[in-house]
Structure 1
């Protein structure tokens, strides 16, 4: 019997290796599985190879939309190798790609328990937290002005008799707590997100509010009497985005009016006014359209016939408080909406044009687009204004191709709703396009910000013009737009082929158009996969930067690039990448990553509002006192902060303010092939002389294309934003002990983990 088993093992192992060698990973996985099941003694010997095969097979299954088979293979493999960190992490990554962050979390936590320094799992854990709980929850809950305004409005309505409440999209349940504390006789809270409903449940339990009925459903699915015993008198909702309607608040309220709200009931907020204005703003211009006039100063390429605009279907969101913005037109009321008027809501919900208005330009300038904001009327007196830069809402930005305008030019602004979302555009009399455009391409933002990083473009074109190695026949450019490769083609007449990989049809048409206009059309080969390249390459530009501020895990491609590169004279750019850092103090950054309960509490100057007549004032005095003195130290932070992250990506100057607290330091050299560590000493920081102490480390990259061509990405207008690591008390505790501030930087495949050393 054992002889037969040994024979099966030998043949299975032989076939597994053979199939793996020929790329048939599905069969290789099946045979390796036979081996590890029949012979536990061999498991450790082939674990790494088994994991490689499983991961490759999982990718192929996912590409074929066989996700149930992905789950089956990983679960079975983890029964065999329960402590394999890479296997646990890769399974979690598949779950994340299939929008299942809750399930992914358990596998990521297991992976980090096995190996706390396995940074791919650490990064995916941060991704899972961000997918499970949208990051705007943190800034919203830390918006004390918003919280106090909603609390006051809820108190007033409940004490006017609107004392049965439905909180639509309750999130953490904060508005429901306000309603209960104000004396509502019955509070219902609905929430469709599984993880937010769990958080709300824990919040209600911690605040002795389990009598609030939590309904884990969309408001559209609520039914009387199954979910709610009878129609309620008050609807409370805060389901608004920068463009007011992006979270489908109007169709939601129509359904609520029809099925849930009492005929004499009320909605908080009562309504809103949306405003709009045309603006001139370089920050918006360089993030939404390509300024080819500036590029032509840096590049020899011909871009005369093309324009590029962002492919955002509706609008982007920006906090423009900290950047230069000029209002070319006076703000105009776009429309008013009454959330208590069902007929108006039904009319507004229909797709189509909602408003057309005309306004004059105030001065000669450049029109970069439109911005919209709103005033939210919680009741007759309490208003929130999203334009002041101090609320959790940003501005809605509708970018356009920049055009030159003149004083008194007439702008016609059109607003419409598509799929219940707002879309705005304009046309201008006598306005002139800033360039003679024949072809307009709508492309991802990464292409736009890359081409608008004029310093980087200048470095790339300079290297392309003056390469010391004149033999540049075969070139690969992996950047969002191959300006380096196109420059080489144009500068070196003996160059033969530029390879560029993209599956974006619009981008392919653009590159072909630019290549044709520069007489290079036959030399540009657009590919779908790097293994289509048949030649050894003379020059490769590796662009593995994510515009949000981190490096992509491009290790496998990097190995392949090394293989393709002709030696010894081949050129591989960049030569080196360094992570840079600087300590700062910021009030804004902590609000993005964790909630502070102090921002949720009742203001001592705003006691519960009661509308009390003189006749019964004395009789209600005791009740009022009891309500005001009732504990309102809401416990929310500890529950949502279970999903906090400490590293913030996609930062630019418009998002936060900070005070510089140290010199710039080189944190570590990035090595995509190895795991490395470094200790960085920022020295002592005198706590007596400083009014504030650092609470964050901002990070960016120094890209060394060559010894004489270096680019720092911390600059405004860079092709990538920067990141920040937020520390709660770690830095403060060390500084107050008069110790040197030292941080440990752990780097793995371009991923970074930064911790404060407490020595």
Structure 2
């Protein structure tokens, strides 16, 4: 009987196994059939079943499973079925937890949807799984700049800043502040200062998932994981008893930006005083601080100064009336995003930032520095009043004649009554200064005796300096230089309706918002003159060719049919020019000067299209000269289509170099499509690009790219953890002001040919002669952009809208004059890598 039961169980198992195999086989066949019919959702479901039933087939079906997953994910994405999309990836990662391709693809979807922290985790895992996976490396470098901003490295390398905070925290803890909350802890360094000083209870909160996980690693490595309670949340969401046991006696924070308030310090401290801190110590109390609350920093003073600065001016004001023969309408006013008069629902930063000590061309102070405002972080009522009080008016006398380009702002942070740090442009500091460009005045010239005026307030978490103008004394009377009368952006978008009926005198000023790099491009006259010459050369050649061909074909018929003395007028079809430059570009208007030409612009924003139409109308172009190409397309991927079924492009203008100093993504793919759509004799601009570089010694490059050892962080081990997020390139670099010592002459590193791609070499070795002894720490690089053999643009030019970039070496290389280094330069999928062969 027992034997009979065993046989029955055995037969049952055999039957189960046979059924499993049959089901797996049928599911595989069904999956393959669905793949052939491009039914990727059903194919994915069948493969999922197969892999759950037969894990031993993982390696066999892995590639086709991945393909089905990615195609099905694309469909789900297009249908906005976000939950289903991520559910598919979660199932896939359960089956293939260590597959770098799936991890990278998951990260790409997360990044596109705005989940940068989560995307970074998947890109990071993909790189860890396969350090040589180029797509994952590029994605990780791209997102690393978002989730761990570069200022983290710079600030952690600022020994003076770290030491001042350490001393102030130590002093507070020794005076009786035993319980501490660190708001916006970042890497956790301030929390570790507090615990090392002897605080009995230390809590820290961090909203960023990436920074929270990084802080966990740092605290563990330094032996504080059990001594500091780390919360992944916003400080305003912390509740007593639920998250921390009781109110604390000390809050420490550095949630300040270059404009002081941009990270929400006022709002977070109002909440802290109301719900998380002990009451402040009375003025007449002389005991210790154990039963009272306080904040580090205790307060701040914001300072300002009016300056003249050509670099700021060329990025925020269009200072020309004509660009390569194209007249700009007097009624059209371009401004940068910092301009505050435009009606908008967006809360935009009202300032940009600059390291004034390194701004190209320097700056000139037009006023003495003046106090903008002060704030006491240890006074709850002042904090509450500060957020709602009316703007204060400021008048500052002019001490130097010049051009009013900006108000520059910095602050002194009073950590306590003894320790203070300054972000002044005159101090050695990791901080940049906030810059409020002056825009919208009729006149910007000031002289001694004038007064610069403005209104200062704190709104929407930002310090706002508005209504910047100046008062000048003429004939004993004070006259205010008013701003232009302008319409809102909505009025700009309705302007075309009245273009044909309104006279110049009747029209009001019309505004168009551009990025600062787009304004710098408009101000770059040599760029546009170079394009004008190259465009004219191609269009003239093609026009002559078409005219000659037309005359040859019709010449005999013309002679027979036309009477003596009659002339035939040859009507040529227009030549087609497509501009797919990034952002706002007037190149279509420049091409339109060479009629008969039909130009297509790829600008997308409605106000930019209106601005280009205004320029076209002001230059008396026929209405059909300019079209907006993306208006005709439902899919951006077909942006390089032909204009008509029977026509090809004469010129296609591509952006090859990003303003950051790197080569544009997918540029070679666009070039390959473009070559197939060109008229005989047509050209892609640029036709090729040469990349140049040199070896330098620069401590600044090193400190701005990675945390260096433990000395700067006062003995705490932070570098290995945050340096996981360092990137090999330093972008948006201005080589003219970078502190560095050249160790070699410039050399050609790479050639990227768009017209004749067979000339491209993806891997190249370059020998570089050392002309000065030192330590090689970086390789800055820039480009010569060849529109053709005669017309070349240099991205390192002083007036260029482009910045430069640099490769930063992991370890310095000692070199002597007369040595020779070999650089290995690789170019793959628009990504460049440069390594030193030793």
Smaller-chain TM-score range? 0.7 to 0.9
* Post-superposition offset of 1:475: 0.8
Deviations 1:522-578 (A, max 9, x none): 321113232484342111111143222222223444343233322x21121110122
Indicate the residue corresponding to 1:222 in structure 2.
Answer: 238
Pairing 1:666–2:777 present: no
Mapping of residues 330-349 of structure 1, within 5 Å = 330-349=368-387
Indicate the residue corresponding to 1:748 in structure 2.
Answer: 828
Q: In 2 relative to 1, CA 105–275 (structure 1 residues): closer, same or farther, beyond 3 Å? A: closer
Pairing 1:329–2:367 present: yes
Indicate the residue corresponding to 1:319 in structure 2.
Answer: 355
Alpha-carbon separation, structure 1, partners of 2:250 and 2:652: 63
Q: Out of 670, 674, 679, which is 1:561 matched to?
A: 674
Higher relative contact order (CA 8 A, sep 6+): 1
Q: Out of 232, 244, 268, which is 2:260 matched to?
A: 244
Alpha-carbon separation, structure 2, partners of 1:177 and 1:601: 11
Alpha-carbon separation, structure 1, partners of 2:73 and 2:652: 30
Q: Out of 148, 154, 158, which is 1:133 matched to?
A: 148
Deviations 1:372-407 (A, max 9, x none): 111111112222111135222211111132742232
Q: In 2 relative to 1, CA 575–56 (structure 1 residues): closer, same or farther, beyond 3 Å? A: farther
Indicate the residue corresponding to 1:519 in structure 2.
Answer: 620
Deviations 1:295-335 (A, max 9, x none): 54x43444433221112432111111123111222222111
Q: Is the 8 A contact 1:279 1:367 kept in 2?
A: yes
Alpha-carbon separation, structure 2, partners of 1:344 and 1:544: 52
Q: Is the 8 A contact 2:187 2:214 kept in 1?
A: yes
Mapping of residues 103-252 of structure 1, within 5 Å = 103-105=118-120, 107-108=122-123, 111-112=126-127, 116-209=131-224, 210-252=226-268
Alpha-carbon separation, structure 2, partners of 1:178 and 1:113: 32
Pairing 1:376–2:413 present: yes
Q: Out of 444, 456, 470, which is 2:527 matched to?
A: 456
Q: Out of 696, 712, 715, which is 2:797 matched to?
A: 715
Q: Is the 8 A contact 1:155 1:182 kept in 2?
A: yes
Indicate the residue corresponding to 1:411 in structure 2.
Answer: 452
Q: In 2 relative to 1, CA 228–87 (structure 1 residues): closer, same or farther, beyond 3 Å? A: closer
Q: Out of 266, 271, 274, which is 2:294 matched to?
A: 266
**TM norm structure 2:** 0.77
* Post-superposition offset of 1:344: 0.6
Q: Out of 478, 492, 495, which is 2:580 matched to?
A: 478
Q: Secondary structure at the match of 1:262?
A: coil
* Post-superposition offset of 1:739: 6.2
* Post-superposition offset of 1:73: 4.4
Q: Secondary structure at the match of 1:124?
A: helix
Pairing 1:304–2:330 present: yes
Q: In 2 relative to 1, CA 112–303 (structure 1 residues): closer, same or farther, beyond 3 Å? A: same
Pairing 1:421–2:437 present: no
* Post-superposition offset of 1:93: 1.6
Deviations 1:78-104 (A, max 9, x none): 788888766553332222233445544
Q: In 2 relative to 1, CA 91–200 (structure 1 residues): closer, same or farther, beyond 3 Å? A: closer
Indicate the residue corresponding to 1:591 in structure 2.
Answer: 703
Q: Is the 8 A contact 1:699 1:722 kept in 2?
A: yes
Q: Is the 8 A contact 1:281 1:326 kept in 2?
A: yes
* Post-superposition offset of 1:455: 2.4
Q: In 2 relative to 1, CA 523–585 (structure 1 residues): closer, same or farther, beyond 3 Å? A: same
Q: In 2 relative to 1, CA 708–229 (structure 1 residues): closer, same or farther, beyond 3 Å? A: same
Q: Is the 8 A contact 2:733 2:804 kept in 1?
A: yes
**TM norm structure 1:** 0.85
* Post-superposition offset of 1:106: 5.6
Q: Is the 8 A contact 1:16 1:29 kept in 2?
A: no
Q: Secondary structure at the match of 2:616?
A: helix
Q: Out of 401, 417, 422, which is 1:364 matched to?
A: 401
Pairing 1:283–2:311 present: yes
Q: Secondary structure at the match of 1:243?
A: coil
Alpha-carbon separation, structure 2, partners of 1:510 and 1:423: 28
Q: Is the 8 A contact 1:651 1:722 kept in 2?
A: yes
Q: Name the count of aligned residue pairs.
A: 709
Mapping of residues 545-560 of structure 1, within 5 Å = 545-554=657-666, 555-560=668-673
Q: Which moved more, 1:155-164 or 1:747-756?
A: 155-164
Q: In 2 relative to 1, CA 325–38 (structure 1 residues): closer, same or farther, beyond 3 Å? A: same
* Post-superposition offset of 1:33: 7.2
Alpha-carbon separation, structure 1, partners of 2:192 and 2:325: 60
Alpha-carbon separation, structure 1, partners of 2:28 and 2:195: 67
Q: Secondary structure at the match of 2:660?
A: coil
Q: In 2 relative to 1, CA 185–565 (structure 1 residues): closer, same or farther, beyond 3 Å? A: same
Indicate the residue corresponding to 1:354 in structure 2.
Answer: 391
* Post-superposition offset of 1:675: 7.5
Q: Which moved more, 1:533-542 or 1:37-46?
A: 37-46
Alpha-carbon separation, structure 2, partners of 1:128 and 1:169: 20
Indicate the residue corresponding to 2:601 in structure 1.
Answer: 500
Q: Out of 808, 811, 824, which is 1:726 matched to?
A: 808
Q: Is the 8 A contact 2:89 2:106 kept in 1?
A: yes
Deviations 1:381-440 (A, max 9, x none): 222111135222211111132742232233221122331212212123354889999322
* Post-superposition offset of 1:76: 5.7
* Post-superposition offset of 1:693: 1.5
Indicate the residue corresponding to 1:469 in structure 2.
Answer: 541
Q: In 2 relative to 1, CA 302–381 (structure 1 residues): closer, same or farther, beyond 3 Å? A: same
* Post-superposition offset of 1:702: 1.8
Deviations 1:174-205 (A, max 9, x none): 11222222222322222222222222223223
Indicate the residue corresponding to 2:722 in structure 1.
Answer: 640
